[in-house]
Structure 1
Amino acid sequence: MKPTEETIVDTPESTEAQQPGSPRLNVLKTYKLYIGGKFPRTESGRYYKLESNGETLANMCLSSRKDFRNAVVAARAAQGGWAKSSAFLKSQILYRIAEMLEGRASQFAAELVQMGADPSEARAEVTASIDLLVYYAGWADKYTQVFSSVNPVASSHFNFSIPGPTGVVGVIAPEGTGLLGLVGAIAPAIVGGNSAVVLASQSKALCAVTLAEVLHTSDLPGGVVNLLTGERGELLEHFASHMDVNAVVYAGANAEELAALQSGATGNLKRVISRSDAGDTSPYAILDTQELKTTWHPIGQ
């Protein structure tokens, strides 16, 4: 027999819960991964508690090797179409991400404070992240002009070199920053036509998963950015050794982690780019994940 509404209301448990001042358990948000434009749970079923100042903030997925491989497959599927998109479209999408981050600036600042940042520092970090996205949006239709060249050759040819995307880029976000370092590592990679598989900071992951919600609603095609959370020690070797990851951007300061990536990448000659400060503004950060392609064109005598 189905319980009536009155029966549900009069249970001792619910009566106790309604008493003023009675203790209750906080319902922690369980954040998912962001892979292929969707928000799946980790296939391993494992989670860790994100804590700050003795307070548990949320439950975060502990990504597995299978999650990483799924993210690489999604990134590879999205990369070709994204690379063919016009520079104007890439610029507009990065600017749209900045607009949406601006609209949720108070939420991002509050999350940074939850993770231990001073309120003024948190606001400054959010503002710098927005400005960084606008900066790279402006470079979308300019970097190819800056870094292309016409090369002198002895034969009767024009010889052109132009930058093109490397392909799928693994991004290891800085451990010590929740938002700025993450944005600074992602933006130059995707504005150059690459897709990205990103490992967020383990201890400051709250802003990263919220950023995934922004990316999801910003017109960025699904799979261009795939965001994982979890233990760096477990996943770094997979970033280095996976044969379908073309480059890795390491935006950290741990010499042992960098050495492990460089050692693991020797098996497939993967490029490992180390950045001590991913929040810097420089068009050379775009060039880091570009391949120079040369074309020979004959000319008449």
Structure 2
Amino acid sequence: MSDRLNVLKTYKLYVGGKFPRSESGRVYEVTDSKDAWLANAPRASRKDARDAVVAARKAFGGWSGTTAYNRGQVLYRVAEMLEGRRGQFVREVADAEGLSKPKATAVVDAAIDRWVWYAGWTDKIAQIAGGANPVAGPFFNLSTPEPSGVVAVLAPQDSSLLGLVSVITPVIATGNTAVVVTSERHPLPALSLGEVLATSDVPGGVVNILSGSAAEIGAPLAAHQDVNGIDLTGAGTDEALAKELEIAAADNLKRVLRPRTEDWLTNPGTHRLTAFLETKTVWHPTGSLGASGSAY
């Protein structure tokens, strides 16, 4: 028998590709389903939220300008790294959600598969969200989807990995950048995901991960003038919080994805892929134009 005490890990935020401590200096204890102390997580502040938005905005130009095919390759690389750390995530999900090892394994496998599924959509979403429109006149009229910009995501409170992946991946697969607020009670899989992203090909700032209170961090994100959309999934059953954040988001006409009952194990469809896309419509003359007679 050993009297040695385990060294509990103190996690960091993930902002701009780096791991800062919370500006407030606060941490909180993370426990498992049996209230055993697992680790310490940072409690992010409003300042941390603002810093994360700055990082996300800085990364947006490069990420949205990357070809859709290349984004798919980058995201698939993340899935490969998740697969390599599968055992760690199984333990974290089992601890967080009180699942048996076989059930936790099934959840982690579903999360990895979900990541691959969304990675495959990067160069296909334009085919269902865009198109050629019939018009009366000698013109081409083409509609193409474009990312909205910076999206704040309140991750699900009870689905620490599968739900997390299901809300983050469609946002970044379509060229947006994300500021994610983790589940307050179960933040460790999300914070570990930050460690995976930091060692992958995803540029710093594309995903920024903050742990703490959805109400505390969500409020400045919903009101932030440089945030273009917000996913309120993590507001869950707190209707008052969801309404407060939606009202704040209206100030600069953010796109808002309202919370609803979700079964994360079912086919997710494409509604999250299109939730934070804008549509650009282009008119172009048909036929021959100019002295050169070039055809368009």
TM superposition score normalised by structure 1: 0.89
Q: Indicate whether 1:271 and 2:271 are aligned.
A: no
Please list the CA deviations of residues 181-220 of structure 1 after superposition, one character each: whole Å capped at 9, or x if unmatched.
1101011010100000000001111111111111111100
Paired residue for 2:25?
45
Aligned pairs for 1:1-301 (under 5 A) are 21-22=2-3, 24-52=4-32, 53-115=34-96, 116-252=98-234, 253-254=236-237, 255-276=239-260, 277=262, 279=264, 280-300=267-287
How far apart, CA to CA, are the structure 2 residues paired with 1:186 and 1:258?
19
SS at match of 2:281: strand
Q: Using a 3 Å threshold, how does the CA distance of structure 1 residues 278 and 164 change in structure 2: closer, same or farther?
A: farther
TM superposition shift of 1:278: 7.7
Secondary structure at the residue paired with 2:120? Answer: helix
CA contact (8 A) 2:50 2:221 kept: no
Measure, in 2, the Cα distance between the counterparts of 1:49 and 1:63. 14
Give the AA of the match of 1:281.
P
Query: In structure 2, what residue type is equivalent to 1:215?
Result: L
Residue 40 of structure 2: SS of its match in structure 1?
strand
Aligned-pair CA distance for 1:112: 1.2
Aligned residues: 281
Unaligned runs of 5+ in 2: 289-296
Deviation at 1:155, TM superposition (A): 3.4
Q: Once structures 1 and 2 are overlaid, which stretch shifts more, 90-99 or 248-257?
A: 248-257
Question: C-alpha offsets along residues 50-79 of structure 1, whole Å, 9 cap, x if unaligned?
Answer: 112121111110100110000000000001
Distance in structure 2 (CA, Å) of the matches to 1:168 and 1:229: 18
Percent of aligned positions that are identical = 49
Q: Tell me the amino acid that sits aligned with residue 99 of structure 1.
A: E
CA distance in 2, matches of 1:137, 1:273: 21
- CA RMSD in angstroms comes to 1.5
Tell me how far 1:232 sits from its aligned partner: 1.4
Runs of 5+ in structure 1 lacking a partner?
Answer: 1-19
Larger Rg over CA atoms = 1
- Contact preservation (8 Å) 2:144, 2:280: yes
Change in CA separation of 1:154 and 1:209 when aligned onto 2, cut-off 3 Å: same
After TM superposition, what 4+ stretches of structure 1 lie above 4 angstroms from structure 2? none
TM-score normalised by length of structure 2? 0.91
